[in-house]
Structure 1
Amino acid sequence: MRDSHGGGGSPASEGASGGAGSSRDGEEPLPESGVQVGGDGYGGVRLGGQQPQGMRALRKSARARRRNLILAGAMSSVVLAGSAVLWALPNYAASQIGSVDAGVAGSQSQGAMNILLVGVDKRDNLTRKQQNQLKLGRESGQRTDTMMVVHLSEDHSKVTVVSLPRDTWTTIPGKGEHKINAAYQLGGANLAVDTVEKATGLTINHYVEVNVLGFIEVVDSLGGVSVCTPVAINDPKTALDLAPGTYQLDGVKALAFARTRATARSDLDRIDRQQQFMSALLKQALSGDTLTNPAKLAGFIDSTLKTLTVDRELAGDLVGLADQLRSISTDDVSFATVPIADSDYRSPTGESAVLWDKPAARDLFRRINADEPLVPGATPSGSASPSASAGPSSGPTASPSPTPSPTALNVPPGRITLRVLNGTPISGLGARTRTALVQAGFLIPDKAGDTRRDHTQTIVRYGPGQLDAARTVAASLPGSELRDVDIDGIEVIIGRDQPAVEKVSVTGPPPSSTPSAAPATPTPTTTATARTATQNICKQ
């Protein structure tokens, strides 16, 4: 309870008013006449009568002591509060996450590092209501849903995430050939790490296991996420029914969106949706609406930590690593998928699996290990952009190279992966052309799709670095038009001209070879497509 001073006002308001009869710090009211300079201890001017010099000094000393005591108390509180936060946050994080011996190499707090991210669905602790919501049934246990390699650049300014298709057919050390997601089931975190190291050639420094079912609470803590689909999704298993469009989804629906395989490319489409989902989640987490809302931020951190199990070394420094990444934006995070040679491989055991394009995959992981950017136009970690460092150009701006006249082909069909789209109203034309191109030796992992139905001429569209391969494709489709566009890879749009597919022969040297060059490892003609998290986010 505050003391009353001359009229019931608060001491602060009365001291500030300086009016007649007011008091400050318990002093007696001053007479209404006279001037006192510096008597209030702040160097100000006060109205009032003369006070004895000794009394003024005594009162000034008392006030100074009180101010120093309050200041010291406030500073102590700040220091103690800060110390408590700094102490409590790592300890709180350690209390919320699990740890496991994953047999990883570990790392220094600085420097490039690779993290194996494994998504599992642990159902044992779900309630009956949650199981019904997620259409999971009553079966207990856990399964690997997702495998990704997360690469942090040397200066931790860039993050590259590479999805490893769960159906990848590979060698699991000591277990023979299996799908890559069987490694976790056969030997837990240790075997999963060992398998990924052997398949990618990368050293795995840390291991993070995420219970994907826990992301329901993570999404809900952020108020949902925005996702989009270019095709309809109708999955009775998850009760997900979406027409093409953009949606704001809650946790249950968002998780179903990221996990469904009820579209044409099955797991490969799911990888795209998972990358989109992670990008949307990152955007929402980094938004001002989250960072400036203590309750929302606390809920997000709390729900996220509860989904994690990490290797023991990372468990002790998770907060430190997160602090190093605090300046990362969605422009600094890139997503890619391992290039595929055969998405419908039939294994010796009769399983439907996926085979990597091994030369292209080796090139991808080499670039990642060297901190090279995967997204066209991006600059390497820690490097300035060319426009920032280069002086003014003295010559004319370079223009795109014109399509060359036909010459000897130098990329064989067996090294070319492409997509086929039907650009006409003729039903089944895309599928028939795809079959003929596969028979001619081209790699076409996806079923034929559809696009605008008004194309008269067949078009071979190609992205950066794909001209030589596109020339081979165009040669197999006589009369088709070559078109340099801003896409990833190569796609064929079939027109009303319906060219008959012809088999072609490669007679020229490989694109990068010279007469004196020694035989080298084949240069991949397919490259991993990569997009930043910003590019993955749905445009409203």
Structure 2
Amino acid sequence: MTADDRARPIPQGSAGRSDDDVYTVDTRRRGRAAPSTPRAGRPRAAAPPPAPPAGGYDEYGRPLPSGGAPGGRPPGTGRPLREPREPRGPRRPRRARRVLSLVVLLLVGWVAFTAVAPWHAWSTVSREDTEPSGERPAAGDGNTYLLVGSDSREGLSAAQKKALGTGSAEGRRTDSIILVHVPSGSGKPALISIPRDSYLPIPGKGKNKVNAAFALGGPKLLVQTLEQATGLRIDGYVEIGFGGFATVVDSLGGVDICVPRNIKDAKAHLNVKKGCQTLDGATALGYVRARYSDPKGDLGRAERQRQFLGAVTKKAATPGTVLVPWRWWGFTHAAASSVFVGEDTSLLDAYRILSTMRKVSSDEALSLVVPVSDLNASTNAGSSVLWDDQRAKDLFGMLRDGTPLESPPEGTDGKPTGG
């Protein structure tokens, strides 16, 4: 290139473009101007950094809307922002919670069942009007109930009668008569046996053995006779038959009895050895019925009956009975199916009777016999039992007046006083 060439001016406009100029044409989109290539020798200014969003950034680096607050709902996210969570304490394992819930549920169910079973059984008992007519003694301290064991064969098949040795006599006669007294204050409750051959005045029938009152006028006349003889108002009545004894015992899987001596009684179908043993229903029935083989006669039988009642209620209250649903249900319904109760006798009355019988086995209740003076007196009714009138009057007076009893009063051990 010569000096003249360097001095010649470059033409302007399209005609004056230099051949050294380079152009870039954007053929991807029409109508959009292609950026021009920076001219040589002119430095390009750096682009300023983008301004931060007015609302800042969330925990994931996403811009927040202007004026947004934590927990707000950014446009397009569809959910609120999550706040940082505080650390939680250790969680109880779900399995432990399930086991605990199951235990609580079973406990509640068991408590409900133990209450419902006797309530339902009580609704099925046979009821009878046992309230005597005429004048009755005034109410005394506490409550007095009449518990009767009858020789009723009702509900027994011919085979059962033969197996139990009950015979086939019709009707109901008393086999045992027991007064159950529950004081309202201090002192022990008591079971008082009334010998069934007791020679007493029977309202409208003259003097006779007390079991004749039951045969002649049923529970009403028996209640009236005993109220007149004792001066105690009888507040409830419960009667259980032969079949009931056996059924109740078998529902418990037998009862534990300590037999005081060898007993063999053909009439009672009984043959047991001395010592503690478990008696089934048929054997237990023979044990409480045996009379002729006992040197104490009717008083010895009454003693065994009180022992038996204590053993039954003790077995009924054990965990092996109450905690086993089918056994608890079986016991309550076996007992209910074999008893007659007075129309005015409540479930609470039945509970008091059972509770007193149970306490006899642990010496928390007294086991007594009405004081007697003669076990074999000759009367117009045959061989009879005569009461010791003064001692009997004293005993029933203490019960009526609420005198606390902690030990057996004199003459209540079953031994004749001789007058």
Q: Normalising TM by the smaller chain, what interval?
A: 0.5 to 0.7
Partner of 1:422: none
1:92 matched to 2:123: no
1:491-506 equivalences in 2 (<5 Å)? none
Cα separation, 2, equivalents of 1:268 and 1:300:
29
SS in 2 for 1:96: coil
Deviations 1:444-484 (A, max 9, x none): xxxxxxxxxxxxxxxxxxxxxxxxxxxxxxxxxxxxxxxxx
Q: Call closer, same or farther: CA 1:298–1:107 in 2, change over 3 Å.
A: farther
Deviation at 1:90, TM superposition (A): 7.0
Deviations 1:11-34 (A, max 9, x none): xxxxxxxxxxxxxxxxxxxxxxxx
1:29-178 equivalences in 2 (<5 Å)? 37=85, 43-44=88-89, 92-103=120-131, 112-155=142-185, 158-178=188-208
Taking only the aligned residue pairs, the percentage that are identical comes to: 34
Q: Call closer, same or farther: CA 1:322–1:122 in 2, change over 3 Å.
A: closer
Cα separation, 1, equivalents of 2:114 and 2:328:
15
Deviations 1:35-71 (A, max 9, x none): 97458xxx4479xxxxxxxxxxxxxxxxxxxxxxxx9
1:193 matched to 2:77: no
Are the equivalent residues in 1 in contact too, given 2:117–2:328 (CA < 8 A)? no
Q: Call closer, same or farther: CA 1:367–1:323 in 2, change over 3 Å.
A: closer
SS in 2 for 1:332: coil
Q: Decide which of 517, 522, 527 is 2:411's aligned counterpart.
A: 527
SS in 1 for 2:363: helix
1:338 matched to 2:370: yes
Deviation at 1:85, TM superposition (A): 8.3
Are the equivalent residues in 2 in contact too, given 1:364–1:527 (CA < 8 A)? no
RMSD, aligned CA: 3.8
TM-score w.r.t. the length of structure 2 is 0.66
Cα separation, 1, equivalents of 2:237 and 2:385:
24
Structure 1: unaligned runs, 5 residues or longer? 1-34, 47-70, 379-487, 489-525, 531-540
Deviation at 1:337, TM superposition (A): 0.2
Deviation at 1:160, TM superposition (A): 0.8
Are the equivalent residues in 2 in contact too, given 1:38–1:45 (CA < 8 A)? no
Cα separation, 1, equivalents of 2:201 and 2:264:
34
Cα separation, 2, equivalents of 1:335 and 1:368:
14
Cα separation, 2, equivalents of 1:165 and 1:123:
21
SS in 2 for 1:223: coil
Deviation at 1:244, TM superposition (A): 2.8
Partner of 2:333: 302
Q: How many residues align?
A: 317
Cα separation, 1, equivalents of 2:349 and 2:260:
37
Are the equivalent residues in 1 in contact too, given 2:188–2:406 (CA < 8 A)? no
1:275 matched to 2:306: yes
Deviation at 1:306, TM superposition (A): 1.6
Q: Decide which of 295, 318, 323 is 1:287's aligned counterpart.
A: 318
Are the equivalent residues in 2 in contact too, given 1:36–1:45 (CA < 8 A)? no
1:357 matched to 2:384: no
Cα separation, 2, equivalents of 1:294 and 1:346:
53
Deviation at 1:207, TM superposition (A): 1.4
Q: Call closer, same or farther: CA 1:107–1:348 in 2, change over 3 Å.
A: closer
1:177-188 equivalences in 2 (<5 Å)? 177-188=207-218
1:222 matched to 2:252: yes
Q: Which amino acid aligns with 2:252?
A: L
TM-score w.r.t. the length of structure 1 is 0.52
Partner of 2:380: 348
Deviations 1:189-218 (A, max 9, x none): 111011001111111111112224312111
Q: Call closer, same or farther: CA 1:84–1:260 in 2, change over 3 Å.
A: closer
Q: Which amino acid aligns with 2:272?
A: L
Are the equivalent residues in 2 in contact too, given 1:106–1:206 (CA < 8 A)? no
SS in 2 for 1:204: coil
SS in 2 for 1:171: strand
Are the equivalent residues in 1 in contact too, given 2:144–2:236 (CA < 8 A)? yes
Are the equivalent residues in 2 in contact too, given 1:214–1:303 (CA < 8 A)? yes
Deviation at 1:374, TM superposition (A): 4.2
Q: Which amino acid aligns with 2:328?
A: L
Are the equivalent residues in 2 in contact too, given 1:169–1:355 (CA < 8 A)? yes
Cα separation, 2, equivalents of 1:323 and 1:270:
20
Cα separation, 1, equivalents of 2:353 and 2:229:
28
Cα separation, 1, equivalents of 2:389 and 2:137:
27
Are the equivalent residues in 2 in contact too, given 1:90–1:319 (CA < 8 A)? no
Deviation at 1:164, TM superposition (A): 0.2
1:255 matched to 2:289: no
Q: Decide which of 244, 252, 263 is 2:274's aligned counterpart.
A: 244
- Structure showing greater relative contact order (alpha-carbon pairs closer than 8 Å, 6 or more residues apart): 2
Deviation at 1:234, TM superposition (A): 1.5
Q: Call closer, same or farther: CA 1:82–1:223 in 2, change over 3 Å.
A: closer
Cα separation, 2, equivalents of 1:116 and 1:122:
17
Moved more, 76-85 or 189-198: 76-85
Q: Which amino acid aligns with 1:100?
A: E
Cα separation, 1, equivalents of 2:301 and 2:336:
24
1:234 matched to 2:118: no
Deviation at 1:231, TM superposition (A): 3.1
Are the equivalent residues in 1 in contact too, given 2:223–2:234 (CA < 8 A)? yes
Are the equivalent residues in 2 in contact too, given 1:148–1:163 (CA < 8 A)? yes
Deviations 1:333-371 (A, max 9, x none): 22100111111101124x111101111111111222233
SS in 2 for 1:136: coil
Are the equivalent residues in 1 in contact too, given 2:137–2:233 (CA < 8 A)? no
